[in-house]
Amino acid sequence: MVKKVSLFLLTAIFALGLIGCTKEVKSDVEVHGVVGSGSKNDPYVVEIYEDGVITKELSANLNVDLTGKNTIIKSEENIITFKGLKKGEEIHQVKDSKNKTFFVKTIVHEKGFNLTTKKSFKNSLKVLAIGNSFSEDATRYLYDIAHDFGVEEIVIGNLYIGGASLELHASNIKNSSSSYTYWLNKDGEWKNMGSQSIKIALLLEDWDVVTVQQSSPDSGKADTYQPYLDEVIDFVKENANNDVTIFWHQTWAYQKDSGHTSFPDYDRDQLKMYNSIVEATKEKIINNNKVYSFIPSGTTVQNMRETKIGDRLTSDGHHLNITGRFAAGLQWFRTITGFSIDDIKVLPTGINEEILELAKQSVNSAYNNPFIVTK
């Protein structure tokens, strides 16, 4: 998974008395006192702590029903996921294959609680993109996807200037410029809210997530990122609510026959452009502590190009078409919330069941391997 993002959410465990638990031990685990059953989209995770350090993570099969059972599940990676724990209930004992008992107390959060970001995205998802047409593409179907999943309150905003770079965003902040078109979706329909500044947009909602990105011509040029990236992020953190989370939007390479005027910067080579974007992300984003994580839209699109759909994921050689937008939207939802997309069923006009499944595969592959194209 991408930087700083846990694969397992929703339950924290604090040891009352741990016996003989080490990170190296790989064993079967016996669980007592688990009640209820969960769904694929709402797993609960058990994390066993010793002296404040996670010594074991436990997770079950997706469809396991542990109601009223003493269950033994083999764990090859010390990862067993428990489903169906109700809020406030406890697991009383955990035993490993050597019959050593760990007495643990669980804190079970409400459905949809993201343990890593400490936010309940099942209840509310508010995302603001500071970007351009590429963030417009990627967020086009984000509301629809979140609504299909069952998120109760959804607010998606996009601050748009065509071709806007990090340098331009930083300049607009310094000049208090209101030159952005502020697009907002709170009910399934995108509405033009007129001209707006970054500062006012940040204050209009209690945003859970703010995304930033580089313009597509410079996306693979690491030397164009700073100091502008940090200037934008610092401003966001100064003006947004205190617990806002910053994500980087990794954009995509142009279509192979794109006529974009900046494509010669990459020798009109799609793979060279993609690899340049990957390297820039590794160099400028991965080790930047101001960025929580990144959304691998670029790898998602490249994965889709390896399917039977092929290279035709844009409308003009660089902006995504319906299929590309839908895949990118799935990746945004998958990465930001950490939720499974396996049960997503929404089919926007132009998307059929086959495309939906190919998009899910491409998204999940990019989520798990954000720098590797899956063929």
Domain termination residue (choose one: 57, 83, 114): 114
The structural domain count of the chain equals 2
Q: CA quadruple 130, 325, 369, 22: dihedral positive or negative?
A: positive
Is residue 95 located within the same domain as residue 139? no
Which residue in 176, 182, 177, 184 sits closest to 195, CA to CA? 182
Structure tokens at 259: 């006529």
Q: Tell me, what's the pLDDT at 121?
A: 85
Whether residue 174 is contained in a domain is answered as yes
pLDDT at 35 over 50: no
Is residue 353 located within the same domain as residue 226? yes
Whether residue 57 is contained in a domain is answered as yes
pTM equals 0.73
Q: Tell me, what's the pLDDT at 100?
A: 54
Q: Give the domain range for residue 283.
A: 119-368
Is residue 191 located within the same domain as residue 273? yes
pLDDT at 115 over 80: no
Higher pLDDT, 210 or 97: 210
Whether residue 287 is contained in a domain is answered as yes
Is residue 194 located within the same domain as residue 46? no
By the 10 Å C-beta count (0-12 exposed, 13-18 middle, 19+ buried), 71 is classed as middle
Is residue 52 located within the same domain as residue 95? yes
Is residue 66 located within the same domain as residue 189? no
By the 10 Å C-beta count (0-12 exposed, 13-18 middle, 19+ buried), 349 is classed as exposed
Whether residue 261 is contained in a domain is answered as yes
Is residue 267 located within the same domain as residue 196? yes
Q: Tell me, what's the pLDDT at 375?
A: 84
Is residue 86 located within the same domain as residue 187? no
Q: Tell me, what's the pLDDT at 120?
A: 67
Whether residue 2 is contained in a domain is answered as no
Is residue 353 located within the same domain as residue 288? yes
Is residue 99 located within the same domain as residue 133? no
Whether residue 374 is contained in a domain is answered as no
Whether residue 5 is contained in a domain is answered as no
Q: pLDDT by residue (tens digit) across 348-366?
A: 999 999 999 999 999 999 9
Domain termination residue (choose one: 70, 89, 114): 114
pLDDT at 102 over 90: no
Q: How many residues does the chain have?
A: 375
Domain termination residue (choose one: 81, 99, 114): 114
Which of the four pLDDT bands, split at 50, 70 and 90, describes residue 320?
very high
pLDDT at 27 over 90: no
Q: Tell me, what's the pLDDT at 340?
A: 87
**Domain harbouring 233, CATH code:** 3.40.50.1110
The arithmetic mean of pLDDT across residues 261-267, rounded, is 98
Which residue in 235, 241, 245, 251 sits closest to 165, CA to CA? 251
The arithmetic mean of pLDDT across residues 278-303, rounded, is 95
Q: Tell me, what's the pLDDT at 236?
A: 98
Q: pLDDT by residue (tens digit) across 179-203?
A: 999 999 999 999 999 999 999 999 9
Is residue 105 located within the same domain as residue 125? no
Which of the four pLDDT bands, split at 50, 70 and 90, describes residue 205?
very high
Q: CA 11, CA 44: separation in Å to the nearest integer?
A: 6
Whether residue 236 is contained in a domain is answered as yes
Is residue 193 located within the same domain as residue 94? no
